[in-house]
Each structure stands twice: as structure tokens, then as C-alpha cells.
Amino acid sequence: MKVLMFGWEFPPHITGGLGTACFGMTKGLLRHGVEVLFVVPKAYGDEDQEAVRLLDASDIEIDIRDQVFQEHWSKLTYVEIGSSLIPYMSPEEFEKISSEDVLDRTESMDLVFQKRYTFTGTYGKNLMQEVSRYAIVAAKMASEQQFDVIHAHDWLTYPAGVAAKNVSGKPLIVHVHATEFDRSGENINQSVYNLERMGMHAADTVVTVSNLTRNIVIERYGVDPDKVVTVYNAVDPSNQENKEYEKHVPEKVVTFLGRVTFQKGPDYFVEAAYKVLQKDKNVRFVMAGSGDMLFRMVRRVAHLGIASKFHFTGFLKGEEVSHMFSISDVYVMPSVSEPFGISPLEAIRSNVPVIISRQSGVAEILRHALKVDFWDIDAMADSIYGLLHYQALSSMFQKLGKQEVENLKWENAAFELKRVYQATIQHTPLHIN
């Protein structure tokens, strides 16, 4: 079986959990005999291609005057966004939104008909333009490659997946790692929501990373429940987990690691830290990540008078993450809305007991973790204090948690995903978790 897979990032060039998930997923699929052609807007040359054949959209030459494109591109909508749009954070207020049919505007012809597009592969102000062009390139790839099924990850690649389906006639699976309601609450970006809904309804199968997300897809996007299936994310054993790092500080360390944005609940972590420090000064708190709420969190920490016990590291990746977990005594994920949440699994894998939000997909499958409502700062503070001061409790979660996570492997998730591929190709009913 061969899969044409569309993503927006691939390790080591990542901004969050999506690239990590795609990497683990493709490695797992390889172990089950599935060949993956993985397309990214921009390849850097240092990606690990052990499990995939990586295709760089920036290298593809096209001319959509060719007959194969004419039928499908008359309806392609080009959306120009005049403000920054970050796909895994709350979008900033739009300054300008305009829509036009790509093939109906003479001014667009020079851009559309050029032989090759150069993608940045980032999330800047021209993101929507790149999403539209990525779809054009996807059609070219789909007309030239041999594959059995199309798999598109998150809204950035849904237009590409739909374009590939239109050209090839092959079935399309869209993978929902997060929705606009997770990123923005009720203050959604309508353009992003429309792309998400379009992709979900055009797909033959919709894969969600948790039942929490599955319910959102069905209720908020109006998707037929019979074509929505949950395949949980996973984590693989780390090559770094046995490496020892020097801690440099005598205090216990409590860590938040993720984007510092509304969805991840960093403000609740700061408030819980303040409560813990009222009882025990022998603790240091770390916020590892970047995002639109970072400066607000720095100001709040200063206002509370806990800056000497609170550290901001900026965005961490790779070995830096392993280093952070190795010196942590407790990991906290206080997300307001978390479709899944791979980082608690990574923390447990590194022998760190975790506290997770009940409003997370990983809470559906992770038993050996303390679970609190994101808004319950008192419960969060009590849980942190308990894990820091009751060694038996901490040791139990370390031991049993690690045993549990050892069975949550990408190889197992990929086995379920292969079954979804087969059912979609054969038009047989899906097994719903």
C-alpha cells in the first residue's frame, strides 16, 4: 500500500506537536509495510527520511494551462490575509480579507502560471497564499505519482488533499490534530473554519486524535459520524532518555512545556505556581515555549513577585526537550482545550510524573496521571504540592506511568491507521473507538 501524505512540517523543522506526530506516524506505518510519499511545502535537506520519501513542493514545476488542471481550478479560491496568521495559535485580527477566483483574474496569471513556486514552509502573513498554491502543486503531484490513498494533516493541507483527490480519483483521509475551536475558543477565524469544514466534508474518512475532537468535528462541523474515527497519538522510546544532565539548582523543578497561547492555559500554570510558592519556597517553575501570551505571562509573574522562582526558556526542541524533562520533578499540562497532547507521554517516558487537564484527549487513555480541570487552580496547586512532597505518590506515578506509556507506541497507532486506510479504500464500515 502506498500513501500520498500532505503535511506542513517535518522534524527537525517543527513549531509544535504536528511535525512530531507525522514523524512517529510515518515510522510506524513503515513497520507495517505502508510506503509513504510525504509532501512538505519546503524541505531543508536534513530531515530524517528513514521511513518516508520526502517530496519538496518547492521543487515541482507546473503549468495549470494543462488540461488536467482546467476542470478543477476554476473554483479554487485565493484568500489574501493582511495580518499574521499562526495556525496553532489564536489568529490576530484580520486587516484585509479578499477572495477571488484564481483563473478569473488576469492580474493573477503571471503568479499562477509560473513554472515553480517557492514556499517558505512557515506561518507568516502570506500563509493563505501558500496554502492555495500548495493545492495547485498537489494536483501536479497527484497526476504523476502512483498511490492508493491520500492523507492530509490539519487545515493547512486540506485544499491540497482535496485537489489531489479531484485529479486522481483516489480516496481522501483528513487528519484532525486540532480545530479552530481549540485554537481560538468561540472567537474563531471564519476563513480557517471554512477550510476545515470544506476538507472534512470532502474527505471519505476523517481521523481525529481523540473522542474529544471527534465530538467537535461532528457537532461543530456537521460531519457524518459514520465517517469519523479516532486514532490516538503515541510516543516512541527516546534515544535521549538515559542521558544524564546536571540540574544546577537545589530546588524541585515544575515544568510547563508548550506554546504560550490561550489553548495551552499558561495563565493557570502561573497562578498555580504562585499558590504553591506560598507554601513552599523550595520550588522553581519553568515555562518552556513561545507564543502570543508570553509577554503577558512575564508581566504577571513580575506582578506576583515570583520572578526569582520562575524561568522562561523560549521554544525548545529535540535534545533541549529531553534535557528539560531530565531535570524536572513534575510536568503540568493545564490546557484549556487539548485535542490530544503528546508532551505528557514524553514526560512520563522520561520518568516525570504528570498533571494533565481533564479537557485533553490524552486524558481519555492515560490512567496514571493526576487529572484536574484547567480552571481549578487550587486543585492544580494541590496536585503539584502532593507530587513534590509525597515521594510514594510520585514514585507510583513514575513506575506505573512508564509501564503504561511503553504500550502507547506509534507502531500500534499506525496499525490502527492502516486499518482505516484499508476500510476507506474498500468502502467498508469503520470501527469507531
Given a cut of 70, is residue 333 above it in pLDDT? Answer: yes
Cell readout for 268 is 493557570
Given a cut of 90, is residue 170 above it in pLDDT? Answer: yes
Q: How much of the chain exceeds pLDDT 90, in percent? A: 58
Distances in Å between the Cα of 198 and the Cα atoms of 39, 217, 236 are: 21, 12, 33
Provide the pLDDT for residue 88. Answer: 38
Given a cut of 70, is residue 266 above it in pLDDT? Answer: yes
Separation between Cα atoms, residue 214 and residue 218, nearest integer Å: 6
Mean of pLDDT values over 53-63: 62
Cell readout for 337 is 482545550
Q: Is the model more confident about 412 or about 55?
A: 412
Most confident of 113-117, 123-127, 318-322, 378-382: 378-382
Mean of pLDDT values over 137-159: 91
Provide the pLDDT for residue 246. Answer: 77
Least confident residue range of 99-113, 289-303, 402-416: 99-113
Closest CA to 139 of 169, 164, 112, 103: 164
pLDDT band at 84 (very low <50, low <70, confident <90, very high): very low
Given a cut of 70, is residue 310 above it in pLDDT? Answer: yes
Closest CA to 79 of 153, 121, 130: 130
pLDDT band at 393 (very low <50, low <70, confident <90, very high): very high
Given a cut of 80, is residue 17 above it in pLDDT? Answer: no
Dihedral sign for Cα atoms in the order 119, 121, 122, 128: positive
pLDDT band at 256 (very low <50, low <70, confident <90, very high): very high
pLDDT band at 101 (very low <50, low <70, confident <90, very high): very low
Cell readout for 390 is 509525597
Tell me the average pLDDT of the chain.
83
Q: At what angle do helices 377-389 and 391-405 cross, to 10 degrees?
A: 100
Is 248 buried (19+), middle (13-18) or exposed (0-12) by CB count in 10 A? exposed
Domains of the chain and any CATH numbers: 2-234+411-426 (3.40.50.2000), 252-405 (3.40.50.2000)
Mean of pLDDT values over 381-393: 96
Separation between Cα atoms, residue 361 and residue 213, nearest integer Å: 7
Provide the pLDDT for residue 254. Answer: 98
CA atoms within 13 A on the CB side of 361: 26
Given a cut of 60, is residue 73 above it in pLDDT? Answer: no
Q: Are 101 and 51 in contact (CB under 8 A)?
A: no
Given a cut of 90, is residue 298 above it in pLDDT? Answer: yes
The pTM score is: 0.82
Given a cut of 50, is residue 93 above it in pLDDT? Answer: no
Mean of pLDDT values over 365-376: 96
Given a cut of 70, is residue 37 above it in pLDDT? Answer: yes
Mean of pLDDT values over 262-268: 95
pLDDT band at 139 (very low <50, low <70, confident <90, very high): confident
Listed in sequence order, the DSSP H helices in 350-430 are: 377-389, 391-405, 410-426
pLDDT band at 87 (very low <50, low <70, confident <90, very high): very low
Given a cut of 70, is residue 45 above it in pLDDT? Answer: no
Given a cut of 50, is residue 97 above it in pLDDT? Answer: no
Distances in Å between the Cα of 246 and the Cα atoms of 249, 313, 316 are: 9, 17, 17
Provide the pLDDT for residue 430. Answer: 77
Q: Is the model more confident about 66 or about 80?
A: 66
pLDDT band at 23 (very low <50, low <70, confident <90, very high): confident
Separation between Cα atoms, residue 350 and residue 402, nearest integer Å: 8
Q: Are 354 and 338 in contact (CB under 8 A)?
A: no
Distances in Å between the Cα of 361 and the Cα atoms of 211, 244, 266, 365, 428 are: 7, 31, 18, 8, 27
Given a cut of 50, is residue 79 above it in pLDDT? Answer: no
Cell readout for 392 is 510514594
Separation between Cα atoms, residue 369 and residue 354, nearest integer Å: 5
Provide the pLDDT for residue 99. Answer: 38
Helix (H, G, I), strand (E, B) or coil at 289: strand
Given a cut of 70, is residue 91 above it in pLDDT? Answer: no
> Sheet harboring 2-6: ordered strands across?
53-56, 35-40, 2-6, 149-153, 172-176, 205-208, 228-230
Closest CA to 70 of 149, 166, 5, 199: 166
Listed in sequence order, the DSSP H helices in 169-221 are: 180-184, 190-202, 211-221
pLDDT band at 89 (very low <50, low <70, confident <90, very high): very low
Looking only at the bridges linking them, the beta strands covering 370-372 and 354-357 are parallel
Q: One-letter amino acid identity for 111?
A: L
Is 285 buried (19+), middle (13-18) or exposed (0-12) by CB count in 10 A? buried
Given a cut of 60, is residue 107 above it in pLDDT? Answer: no
Provide the pLDDT for residue 364. Answer: 96
Cα R_g (the chain), whole angstroms: 22
Looking only at the bridges linking them, the beta strands covering 205-208 and 228-230 are parallel
Least confident residue range of 169-183, 215-229, 271-285, 312-326: 312-326
Closest CA to 189 of 67, 65, 91: 91
